[in-house]
Structure 1
Amino acid sequence: MTLPAPEDLPLDAVPKAARASVSHLADDFLKACEREGLSLDAWPAFTGTIWYYSDFVARACVRRPALLVDLVTSGDLERVYEDGEMTRHVADALQDAADEPALMRALRRVRNREMVRIAWRDLAGLSDLNEALEDLTCLAEHLIDEALTWQHRELARRHGEPRDAQGHAQRLVVLGMGKLGGRELNFSSDIDLIFAYPQPGQTDGERCLENQQFFIRLGQRLIKVLNEKTADGFVFRVDMRLRPFGDAGPLVMSFDALEDYYESHGREWERYALIKARAVAGDRESAEQLHTLLRPFVYRRYLDYGAFASLRDMKAMINREAARKGKERDVKLGEGGIREVEFVGQAFQLIRAGRDPSLQLRGIRPVLDQLARQEVMPEYAVEQLKEAYAFLRRTENRLQMVADQQTHCLPSDSAGQLRLALSMGFSDWEEFEAALGRHMRRIHGHFEQVFAAPQRADEEEEAAAQPEAQRDLAALWAGSLGQERSLSVLVGLGLKDPEAALNAVEQLRESSACRSLTSTGRERLDRLMPLMLSVLNGLEEVDATLIRLVRLVQTIARRSVYLSLLVENPLALSQLARLCEASPWIADHLTRYPLLLDELLDPRSLYAPPDRQGLRQALEDELVQVPLDDLEQVMDRLRMFKQVQVLKVAAADIMDVLPVMKVSDHLTWIAEVVLEKVLALVLEQLIAKHGRPRCIMDGEPYEPGFAVVGYGKMGGLELGYGSDLDIVFLHDSRGEQAMTDGDRPLDNSEFFARVGQRILHFLGVFTGAGRLYEVDTRLRPSGAAGLLVIGLEAFEDYQMNSAWTWEHQALVRARPVAGDARIAEAFQAMRQRVMERERDPEELKRQVREMREKMWKEHASRDPARFDLKRDPGGIADIEFMVQYLVLAHARKYPELSTYPDNIRILESLIETDLMSRDDAVFLMDTYRAFRDRIHELTLQDQTTRVDATQWSRERDQVRAYWRQLMT
């Protein structure tokens, strides 16, 4: 037997005052080794230092010297465990446990061995925080799982296997909460557990039990073997108070019973607790079903800004409790502690993760990383939080490694302070305390930024300091100010008709929507209304804006999460008032789709609509969050995407960020991106069902495609707010054996007809999120009587031999907007051929003129005092008809005239070909833009395209003069 000498124990890193104590431990360890006949060639590196840092490690080594000898000889102190190695260690330790006392002894001994290893590597600087937390979590999981398996087997021997009504075997699911669920377990943590089982039923043994009784007994046995303290210590302190109804509730519940509880009784703090819930033992396969059942309770499908207030209140309660218990120096619960980091990340999870599954993560550090990637939080803030969090978690572990106790309090004695400082790599307590203070101040600063409620009258002190004007607004909303004073306050806000305004506010207060609110909803409304009234001050259209805001509040009142959004975000409330003042159309849009209120939070995004590629990426990001086979969710997400993007364009338009041509570009890009995605989704569904279309053309196999052609405003990149989509569907299937190649084959023509029908359904059907687009397909050959989807060859034959002149006019403003690139290229070539046909100029002129005159008679304004910018003589339609006539009349000689489908670039081509003078063309371009710009403005003001006839009189007369000169 060989043993090192006591004096060889290195103590240079140990303070002089502690060296004698460490030396005594070394003597005791060597004597224990001699008694047990153990050998150890030399002291492991860092032994003296680690024993100084951790009484737990030192005591464990002295009490069971074989533990340290085993760790040294196996090399486990020096290396990172491979995947599965922790599992093998635990399983090997328990394999010979013949009875419960043997099980308990084996659990504790393997637990102590691995905890010594984890602490040793951590204190020696051989592992980082990630390894320590992962090893602690992995150890806990396998200890729980192995103990559960052993106890289940023993209990089933007596009562049989628990089964459901169909005879399927049932297993307990153990949910780990908190840091265990988040794979971030600290060194000496309690473990918070919830027990559940899939289905009611009974065991199949002679002494049968109801499943719930079986699993209650199993849960009790599991708690006992983990929690009970014996001569070998304990495994984990088990806390079951997070289960439904806490200590008063049943120890185990079925999945359905859990779901019912959370639907009926679940509280906000339970949502917070369940974020990290994860199956750590038992039936992990069934656990996925349980997670699916609980997910709607934890993650709301809307943006839940009420979570800010709930978590703020919870943190205030924790702070009060910490102060009561003297825990101000607590690295977990104190100001700037670990809990504040967790609250920051989990607040955004509760708010956003229902709509953004990428945030449905359990560990706090991955959540923070995701918030930085999505620019929800600044990257520098996330880095500071992560750095501070790592520092506090290392501090927490070092505190707990001293005596294997669950403590988060900094030591108050000088010896304990020096030990902690040295274990954290600092030379003295003052240096450590300064670093700790810096990290905790940063955490608390970011916490305050996230959770601060600048508008909130937080209780009496702030209410007393509230300006008189704000108190008056609160009293006005409450109905306690008196009519005369109320009218005076409203006049002070700039209202011209204070009686009507006061009446609107009173009607809102007494409306059924507001009177039926919950206490939480009413509290949020009472906080919002004074703030909303105050933002009216300084607006120009105060009266109209107030009415629009009141209408919106009445709509959203029952969904108090939207009230919270506005209360919690003064910038959003300000943006809302500005937009509602500027545009009744936007106000109505927000009222009908309040989910869009979230877009008000970031003006940088609100007033910067993305380009076409940005739209494609944004739509992919939106749809990646939902399963594509969930048609209802996909349709809702498509509609929300469209509404969000149109709102951004409207906001940028109303604030003069975008010129008229760019407004139409953006609106057209939105429609194109939506069409592309809808077509892709429809094709994917039908191909999965029927296979891909195939045919034989000219003796060669060919896979035909499908394309969408846009006409009118869509084709000319001139969409407005609320424009219909004029589209035509084409395919290029021809030849022989034109069938799909799936198990349920269809003729290609039938397949493509179904593609067209489903596209129309996707675009036009109403859901809870509205409709995508109204679609008009009557520009296809033979109009409504023709085939919905037509072959490319048949389409060209119709255009060349049967189409009316007005259909060729329409073709001037047509282009492929989605689908097969080969069809797009073939269509453009076909369109060029149609444009370049030889035509009799006078006959063409007569037909175009007659079509325009027919439009005048059917659609022009009958009121001489009004001018319809689109349809009346001298308006947009005149310019469009002249441009179309010139293209059809001269494209044969000047093919470049048919290059572009939009009027502005065609007019530029007319200048280049000398078919129109520069002055005339520039005038028509400027007038066309001005009319379109005014139409956009009128749409956003919820007005028709008819204006006073005295407006635009010069432009109107000049357009008519060009018409007479060219077309008569």
Structure 2
Amino acid sequence: MTVPGRRSSAFTRLLRHGFTDPSGAERHLAGPQLAAVRSNPVLLDALGATADPDLALLGLVRLAEAQPDEEQRRMLLDTLLSGKPFRDRLLGVLGASEALADHLARHPGDWQALVTYEASDLHPGVEEFERGLAHATDPVTLRVAYRRCLLSIAARDVCGTTDVAETAAELADLATATLRAAVAIARAAAPEDAALCRLAVIAMGKCGGHELNYVSDVDVIFVAAAVDGAEEGKALQAATRIASHMMRICSETTVEGTIWPVDANLRPEGRNGPLVRTMASHLAYYQRWAKTWEFQALLKARPVAGDPELGEEYIETLAPLVWQAAERDNFVPDVQKMRRRVVDSIPQAELERELKLGPGGLRDVEFAVQLLQLVHGRGDASLRSGSTLEALNALAAGGYVGRADAAQLDEAYRFLRAMEHRIQLYRLRRTHLVPEDEADLRRLGRSLGLRTEPVTELNKAWRKHSSAVRRLHEKLFYRPLLDAVAQLAPGETRLSTDAARERLVALGYNDPSAALRHLEALASGVSRKAAIQRTLLPVLLGWFADSADPDAGLLGFRKVSDALGKTPWYLRLLRDEGAAAENLARVLSAGRLAPDLLMRAPEAVALLGDERGLEPRGRVQLEQEVLAAVGRADGAEMAVAAARGVRRRELFRTAAADLIRSYGTEEHPAEADPGALVDRVGSAVSDLTAATLAGTLRAVVQQGWGAELPTRFTVIGMGRFGGHELGYGSDADVIFVHEPREGVDEHEAAKAANAVVSEMRRLLEIPSQDPPLLIDTDLRPEGKNGPLVRTLKSYEAYYRRWSHVWESQALLRAEPVAGDEDLGRRFMDMIATLRYPAEGLGDDAVREIRRLKARMESERLPRGADPNLHAKLGRGGLSDVEWTVQLLQLRHGWAEPGLRTTRTREALAAARSAGLLSTEDAAVLDEAWVLATRVRNAVMLVRGRAGDTFPSDGRELAAVGRYLGYGAGLVGDLLDDYRRITRRARGVVEELFYGG
């Protein structure tokens, strides 16, 4: 009788060792089969180290019970206790695989196959497995011998002697030996057929790639040839009979179960095609009829059985076709669609448990790797491995995949394959579904070394790796650069001097010799950086060529690459992140402004790879950053330099977004609405200018007065600045207002205010390589003859007594942009009646505005300028449209609230809504204003300096045309369209502004 306390102690001990059924374990240990070893503590420790101690103990009892006599049982148990390697291997297998425990119970002597211990660097290959199968002469004995070999593979796997890749390779080698044995049995059964033909078995899929599962279909293709003197038709029939018999030997179920199905459905025409073909028939099919996925499948093809010379000939013959597959039309999209179809075919109930085919599963890794291999392997033979992990390592070594990404994918793939192996090993059934039963999950987790909370830890690790695979699959598999590389002609994927020179000339590079020097500097050598450049450059050359100045694009790319050459993220960004490479190519080849900005702030290239990188930042956000930078700076000049740094980066962001949306890329199609582009640029540059002035003002005050200026001070934006319509080359029209603080002498306040203005202008005029930020104060009262800054009261007195109509017109676009917000609001309140005079303008005022406009047209147009092509002062240009709109605002703003805006296009739309002009006339003026504004922006982007007329240089003019949507050779159309659009606008101006 068992003492209760002792029984409790046994229970506790068994639970501590991982048993979930202590009562059952006690019964097994108390049985006669284990009488000789039950009291040995080594046994319990070894059982506790297995994936499932209950399953391992049950299997051991069954094995001991199956021994033919007592002597054999004693030998088993003595060996078990005396040798730790054998003990760990046997119990490890019994605790992980119910199916292999069944095999040992049916063949009780096979445990001796686990006695031999291989060191960690000694693993069997095909020859060793062939020796293990040598005595198998029929399907039944072949199955028994196969399972015996499988025992040793599983033992090495569960004990950690082999890693998951080595286990998969051993399984593929065992499959190879088994196929050879099956072929030998089939040939021996039909010697007359064997005498007629040569037959080669080509392994495909995981067997071909040396990465087989425990239970998997073994995909094969058969190729045959007639022996000398035999008729080809009869030889093919004979080969087909041998192949069919070989398939049955492996696939059919016997009393010993099955080995695995041999699947020949990857052959040409699949199930509808002949099982066996000649070499010529295979070649003809792949040359004429094969689909994209069939070449992807051939990537893993490997001769494994039958006639070795014929098998090698098959691989050598078809390999060139495999590495040309990426040149097929729509190759990359076809592969991507095929992957999506696989996911869509998974039953919804199984989607989250599907380890192989589901999102974040094994197939995601394999498809991404295979796609990269097929695209880049055309020119790089190091990528042509059938093994997923070897290929992934080669892709990382060649710079096609980031090392961190490759390491993460490698780790995730190994973990998911290990899960798949252990799930299949349990019952040796073909499945890729993660089990739902708690006991199964516990055994699975423990088999992977997760012992504290096996189920929780397993789910956590599985989700982590699955999530990483899903993210990296999306990043690599849908990488825009892939499709572009795939579309390159043969030989263009790797740069060579002769091929590069010919291609450069064909692409329109004016100076191929200089371009070749750039290519050599960027891509020569064996460094990882050079390897990545060799991948990028063939595609970039094409993108540069799709511009008005390919040479400038390549030169800019070299400069950026030299500046960022030691920055690890730069080339990785271009290779991996969205459309960053294409975006950079468009920006660098579109003119001087954006590349010049980028040279001064090369780290801004990171904006091109960020989904939100092309979105402009708002004024509040910009001002906060500028003021923070100013606050950290040592002195006013350093503070303004810091503000310029923010401005430089943000100007690049705006210019890059403008260029990319104007040209369009695969990820960012061209903006269909030119007005939206103009509005976006105008707002972004105006906000940036306001933030820069706010920072400059803060720097001046900090240096001269500390925390507070003795007078309140505000900056009012005028003209295009106040209208949120600044272009890249616009000056900032402003006026300055101040108001002495309480108790401060007016003279002292005025002195401080004038000092602030002078210092702001000095700081902003310090020579710099950045685009200048010039502030223009000519719209102040009395113009150039008036004081630079006035008090609010002085402005009020002046406007009340001396104001001219042109000053009311100028104030239409006044808006506070920096400084004291309350003072700015009060200034706006004070000028409200000037901007929108009650009852509108009198006839005299209207005549005065018309006179001023006519005078400006005759006096301010530069000498020699074509009045039909001057974007600002020419016929139907900016001035025509703006003066017309402003006259409508002055006359009707008092009655129409919609007209009370500083923005030209908003005011024009409001005037149309109010019936002050027709919809057609409004559209004509809007189109002309938008086009003229875009011309000015284009000139600045292309030339790097402001201008109001089209460039005279042919290449610069072509670049302006490209920005405006006119392809190569269509510059004449651009000029004709500009003349037509502005001529129509001038007609509307004559009617509305001059009264017909």
Q: Tell me the TM-score range normalised by the shorter chain.
A: 0.3 to 0.5
Q: Structure 1-normalised TM-score?
A: 0.46
User: Radius of gyration: which is bigger?
Assistant: 2
